[in-house]
């Protein structure tokens, strides 16, 4: 059994930062010692001047997601390797039940894609492509036996993943009974479809119209409707995914002020990028930033409100919603019709860095950075304390982060399977130095040392984040 000591670093957790040495025994953390008090061991890793944080947990990824006639371009191999290099040591990907498919078949297919290919540990949520007697029964089985305790429903995408309000209510009632979390894509899909048709009839075909036909009111309305449906379902726990807009955040705030088990995540793209500057880029360029919910206007207060929501815990988690498509042949499916552009942005490699920039910019504290990218996603989705914390008994998933380092993001150097980057040319004050996954050093000083197949499926328990 290999013993390692991470020495001289500042260990950052959700409750603050301490100078401590971290002893690792095999795959787990054995102890934390005050500086100089640890036993002598053969293998030490010098973390002087660096931050020692729990391996980050990305609770929202879509490797190989089928969408708009194509598939997200990262496989579990390429996507989890990129995640690892960027300091993420666990992903929770969305297994998909296609409409008309049996849930267990969709889940088995997802295990088939991931098994033997992952560089880091992985877990699954389940996308429900339909709510009926059979799938409601399957929810119980997934929670009890398959380690899947969260289910994503869609108020958007009629004809694809969409569930109507009656279906949503039934799934929420079931989740209320079996302890699961309902995750909601909260946008009013039927209303958006009307706006999309009208825009196309007017000849408005450029990527920016993807955003203009998904106004924040339709995100806020769906968010509010989901919250009240969850109330009717005896306060079923509800988690709003990829929240992008101030008015939607207001709905979550109101619910949380009432003490409800309502939570939300946002994503780096909504904290930094905008409708005008990215989605509105000249020609077809904006297709790179077509995602749903869409990027919001820089002339409104969305970005400032989202950063504030992260500080006040009205937004509890930052995930990527990693759903990459290449520009060539994939995003290009929507040339001449924005509604045919596959939806998604790829950022799984960059979330730790992008949020650290929020610390440098004075928008987040160090401990809040760790909480939103690692500890809370682990707690929210039943992975804690195995993941998300540096504590005795936890998996030795550790990132040594160099605050004096610098990261430059480019498609030339990233590891995601994408021919462009949504963050091309971005420079971050900070750098992932070393990454350990269950005690194994898988990245160090820019060199990748891991391998496909070492990542294990993690069965999740119920959320421990509920009020």
| Footprint of ligand URP (CB under 6 A) | 62, 185, 242, 291-292, 321, 323, 343-344
Count of residues making up the chain: 467
CB of 240 to Zn ion, least distance (A): 10
Pick 344 or 450: Cβ nearer ligand URP: 344
Q: Which of 335, 345, 327 is nearest to 291 (CA)?
A: 345
Sheet holding 447-448, edge to edge: 16-19, 10-13, 51-54, 398-402, 431-437, 440-444, 447-448
* CB closer to ligand URP, 23 vs 291: 291
Which C-beta is closer to Zn ion: that of 43 or that of 164?
164
Choose between 62 and 174: whose C-beta lies nearer to ligand URP.
62
Q: Tell me how far, at minimum, the Cβ of 282 lies from ligand URP, in Å.
A: 22
Residue nearest to ligand URP (CB): 343
SS (H, E, C) 329-343: CCHHHHCCCHHHCCC
What is the closest distance, in whole angstroms, from the C-beta atom of residue 416 to ligand URP in the complex?
15
Q: Which does 96 bind (CB under 5 to 8 A by kind): Zn ion, ligand URP, none?
A: none
CB closer to Zn ion out of 102 and 360: 102
Q: Give the binding site for Zn ion (CB under 5 A).
A: 185, 321
Residue 343 contact among Zn ion, ligand URP, none, beta carbon within 5 to 8 Å by kind: ligand URP
Partner from Zn ion, ligand URP, none contacting 331, C-beta within 5 to 8 A by type: none
Contact criterion met (CB below 8 Å) for 187 and 243: no
Rounded to a whole number of angstroms, the minimum distance from the CB of residue 62 to ligand URP is 5
| Of 223, 217, 216, the residue nearest 238 (C-alpha) | 223
Nearer to ligand URP, 146 or 265 (CB): 265
Question: Whole-angstrom Cα distance, residue 54 to residue 12?
Answer: 8
**Selection from 206, 208, 196 nearest residue 334 by Cα:** 206
In contact, 417 and 73? CB cutoff 8 Å: yes
Q: Concatenate the DSSP letters of all residues of 116-159 into one string.
A: TT-SSEEEEEEE-S--SHHHHHHHHHIIIIIS--EEEEESS-TT
């Amino acid at each position: 059994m290999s013993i390692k000591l991470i020495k001289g670093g500042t260990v950052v957790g959700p409750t603050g930062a301490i100078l401590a040495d971290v002893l690792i025994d095999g795959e787990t953390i054995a102890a934390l010692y005050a500086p100089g008090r640890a036993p002598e061991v053969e293998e030490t890793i010098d973390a002087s001047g660096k931050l020692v944080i729990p391996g980050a947990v990305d609770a929202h990824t879509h490797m190989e997601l089928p969408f708009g006639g194509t598939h997200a371009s990262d496989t579990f191999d390429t996507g989890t390797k990129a995640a690892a290099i960027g300091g993420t040591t666990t992903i929770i990907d969305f297994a998909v039940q296609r409409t008309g498919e049996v849930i267990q078949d969709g889940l088995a297919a997802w295990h088939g894609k991931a098994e033997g290919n992952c560089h880091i540990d992985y877990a699954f949520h389940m996308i429900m492509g339909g709510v009926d007697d059979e799938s409601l029964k399957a929810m119980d089985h997934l929670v009890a036996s398959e380690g899947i305790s969260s289910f994503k429903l869609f108020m958007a995408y009629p004809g694809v993943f969409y569930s109507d309000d009656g279906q949503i209510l039934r799934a929420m009632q079931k989740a209320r009974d079996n302890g699961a979390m309902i995750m909601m894509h909260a946008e009013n899909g039927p209303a958006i479809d009307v706006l999309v048709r009208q825009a196309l009839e007017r000849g408005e075909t450029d990527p920016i119209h993807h955003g203009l036909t998904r106004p924040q009111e339709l995100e806020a309305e769906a968010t509010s409707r989901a919250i009240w449906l969850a109330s009717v379902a005896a306060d079923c726990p509800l988690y709003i995914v990829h929240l992008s807009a101030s008015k939607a955040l207001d709905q979550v705030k109101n619910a949380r002020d009432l003490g409800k088990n309502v939570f939300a995540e946002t994503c780096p793209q909504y904290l930094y990028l905008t409708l005008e500057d990215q989605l509105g880029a000249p020609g077809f360029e904006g297709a790179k930033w077509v995602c749903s919910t869409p990027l919001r206007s820089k002339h409104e207060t969305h970005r400032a409100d989202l950063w504030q929501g992260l500080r006040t815990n009205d937004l509890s988690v930052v995930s990527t919603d990693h759903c990459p498509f290449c520009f060539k042949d994939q995003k290009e499916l929507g040339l001449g019709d924005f509604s045919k552009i596959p939806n998604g942005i790829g950022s799984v490699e960059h979330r730790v860095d992008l949020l650290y920039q929020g610390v440098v910019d004075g928008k987040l504290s160090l401990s809040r950075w760790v909480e939103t990218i690692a500890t809370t996603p682990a707690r929210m989705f039943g992975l804690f304390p195995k993941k998300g914390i540096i504590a005795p008994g936890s998996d030795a998933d550790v990132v040594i982060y160099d605050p004096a380092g610098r990261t430059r993001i480019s498609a030339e150097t990233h590891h995601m399977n994408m021919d462009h980057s949504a963050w091309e040319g971005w420079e971050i004050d900070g750098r992932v130095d070393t990454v350990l996954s269950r005690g194994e050093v898988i990245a160090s000083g820019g060199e990748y040392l891991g391998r496909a197949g070492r990542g294990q499926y993690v069965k999740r328990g119920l959320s421990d984040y509920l009020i």
